[in-house]
């Protein structure tokens, strides 16, 4: 089946070179420019050339988790504004080339519709289908909202993107596209699957007994989800479901192990729900035209009113630091932005409101600084300047390699005692003395 003549005529009219497409960009513009593994690199090259040749200034690119340094950011006249920092953003921030946008990730579509200026959207998509739709491929997140508010919409086609089944807002129709650029079909960025450490496996072993048959999983990023995936794959658990901000390799492994069926899921029964994906080529191959998947925008996936309706919802997220009252910092190291808030608070609240649901904040008890000195991640107070990602009154379970505790309903004294008990043994006495001094 092929597209009808009217759609094909539109395609022919809107199909242009990358240089022609970016000619719409002018000084001062805000450009919504991809997210995570979905970056329009052909348009990036053309944009860099336009900034240089036309001497444009004050170009503001907005996105998150850069996985490759952009040529357009080599100019002093372009700045990256990030919803979620990764390693490249941290490096760019040191150069004064990147700034963080503090967000509640579930609200980004609302920000775009009501608060933010978007002059141009540049995103990577699959080729157009016979009905005139361009699928977003691996990142759905907030793209449809950005498109609705943008003055100009440019899609860069990449035949390597998987075409993914969606719930809604997972594609854009040619009627809403101004320019179509057939890109260089770059390989989709792969995120190496982090090998779980012994600490990760120990933490995961404390979480495992809290997961029941039929539970619905939300996992964050890193070695811990992979550790948990390995343990679940070897366990007797069955009929699990998935409703997770990020789709990663760990979920593919669980499907292959027969652990994911979604048969008892109250919403999107039988479907693996997510809003963006990043992983290996194995993940992207799994995603292509897979009816088991349902991609949604982030204001659905991370919405507390949605997740709270899914029974036995299990939310597992990481942290950088926690204080003795239970305040969680998951995004900064002191005043320096390290990553972002993402959907942690939304999933913490949604899981706790879910019937039979549980929420876990997991972190290694210690870290070593550049000099090799051991530091505790559980501290009397958060490091000055640290951002509170999840407030103490929302936290339920906290897990380190030394144990799992439940903070719900505990007094400040009980919290301090419990948190000190799962700190590294070398720091427990110091934490108790600090708690006494602080009146906890």
Show which residues are catalytic.
245
How far is Cα of residue 253 from the mean position of the Cα atoms in its chain?
20
Is 87 annotated as belonging to a binding site?
no
Residue 76: CB atoms within 10 Å: 10
Is 41 annotated as belonging to a binding site?
no
Whole-angstrom CA distances from 192 to 195, 278, 326 are 9, 9, 32
Burial group, residue 291, by CB count within 10 angstroms (0-12, 13-18, 19+): exposed
d(CA 178, CA 333): 42
By DSSP bridging, strand 171-173 and strand 133-135 are: antiparallel
By DSSP bridging, strand 59-63 and strand 78-82 are: parallel
The DSSP 8-state label assigned to residue 437 in this structure reads H
Whole-angstrom CA distances from 5 to 2, 12, 130, 319 are 9, 10, 10, 53
Dihedral angle over CA of 404, 408, 410, 414, nearest 10: 20
Burial group, residue 270, by CB count within 10 angstroms (0-12, 13-18, 19+): middle
Q: Comparing C-alpha atoms, which of 109, 166, 138, 151 is closest to residue 40?
A: 138
d(CA 285, CA 225): 20
d(CA 359, CA 342): 15
Is 223 annotated as belonging to a binding site?
yes
Is 86 annotated as belonging to a binding site?
no
Is 353 annotated as belonging to a binding site?
no
d(CA 284, CA 300): 22
Dihedral angle over CA of 198, 204, 209, 210, nearest 10: 160
Is 222 annotated as belonging to a binding site?
yes
Burial group, residue 79, by CB count within 10 angstroms (0-12, 13-18, 19+): middle
**Residues 395 and 350: beta-carbon distance below 8 Å:** no
d(CA 108, CA 140): 12
Residues 50, 52, 54, CA angle at the centre, nearest 5°?
Answer: 60
**Residues 125 and 183: beta-carbon distance below 8 Å:** no
**Residues 136 and 295: beta-carbon distance below 8 Å:** yes
Query: Tokens in use for 330?
Result: 């998951």
Is 270 annotated as belonging to a binding site?
no
Residues annotated within a binding site: 220-224, 320, 343
Binding site for CoA, by residue number, is: 220-224, 320, 343
């Amino acid at each position: 089946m092929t597209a009808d003549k009217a759609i094909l005529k539109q395609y022919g009219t809107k199909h242009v070179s990358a240089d022609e497409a970016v000619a719409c960009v002018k000084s001062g513009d805000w450009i919504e420019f991809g997210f995570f593994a979905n970056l329009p690199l052909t348009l990036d090259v053309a944009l860099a050339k336009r900034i240089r040749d036309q001497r444009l200034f004050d170009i503001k690119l907005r996105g998150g988790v850069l996985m490759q340094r952009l040529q357009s950011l080599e100019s002093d006249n372009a700045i990256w504004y990030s919803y979620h920092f990764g390693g490249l953003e941290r490096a760019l921030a040191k150069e004064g080339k990147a700034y963080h946008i503090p967000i509640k990730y579930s609200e980004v579509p609302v920000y775009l519709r009501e608060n933010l200026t978007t002059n141009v959207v540049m995103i990577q998509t699959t080729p157009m289908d016979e009905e005139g739709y361009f699928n977003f491929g691996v990142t759905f997140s907030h793209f449809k909202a950005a498109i609705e508010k943008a003055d100009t919409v440019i899609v860069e086609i990449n035949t390597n993107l998987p075409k993914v089944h969606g719930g809604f807002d997972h594609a854009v129709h040619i009627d809403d596209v101004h320019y179509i650029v057939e890109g260089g079909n770059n390989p989709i960025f792969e995120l190496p699957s982090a090998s779980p450490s012994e600490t990760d496996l120990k933490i995961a072993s404390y979480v495992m007994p809290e997961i029941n048959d039929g539970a619905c999983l939300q996992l964050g990023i890193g070695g811990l989800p992979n550790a948990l995936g390995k343990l679940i794959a070897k366990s007797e658990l069955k009929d699990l479901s998935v409703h997770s901000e990020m789709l990663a390799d760990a979920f593919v492994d669980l499907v292959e192990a027969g652990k994911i069926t979604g048969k008892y899921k109250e919403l999107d029964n039988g479907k693996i729900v997510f809003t963006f994906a990043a992983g290996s080529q194995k993940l992207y191959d799994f995603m292509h035209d897979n009816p088991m998947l349902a991609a949604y925008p982030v204001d659905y996936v991370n919405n507390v009113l949605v997740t709270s309706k899914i029974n036995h919802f299990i939310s597992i997220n990481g942290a950088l630091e926690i204080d003795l009252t239970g305040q969680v910092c998951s995004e900064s190291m002191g005043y320096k932005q390290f990553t972002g808030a993402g959907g942690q608070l939304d999933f913490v609240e949604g899981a706790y409101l879910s019937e039979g649901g549980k929420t876990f904040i997991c972190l290694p008890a210690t870290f070593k600084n550049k000099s090799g000195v051991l530091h505790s991640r559980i501290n009397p107070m958060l490091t000055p300047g640290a951002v509170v990602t999840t407030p103490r009154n929302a936290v339920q379970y906290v897990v380190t390699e030394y144990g799992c505790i439940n903070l719900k309903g505990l007094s400040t004294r009980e919290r301090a005692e419990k948190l000190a008990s799962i700190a590294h043994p070398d720091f427990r006495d110091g934490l108790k003395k600090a708690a006494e001094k602080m009146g906890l």
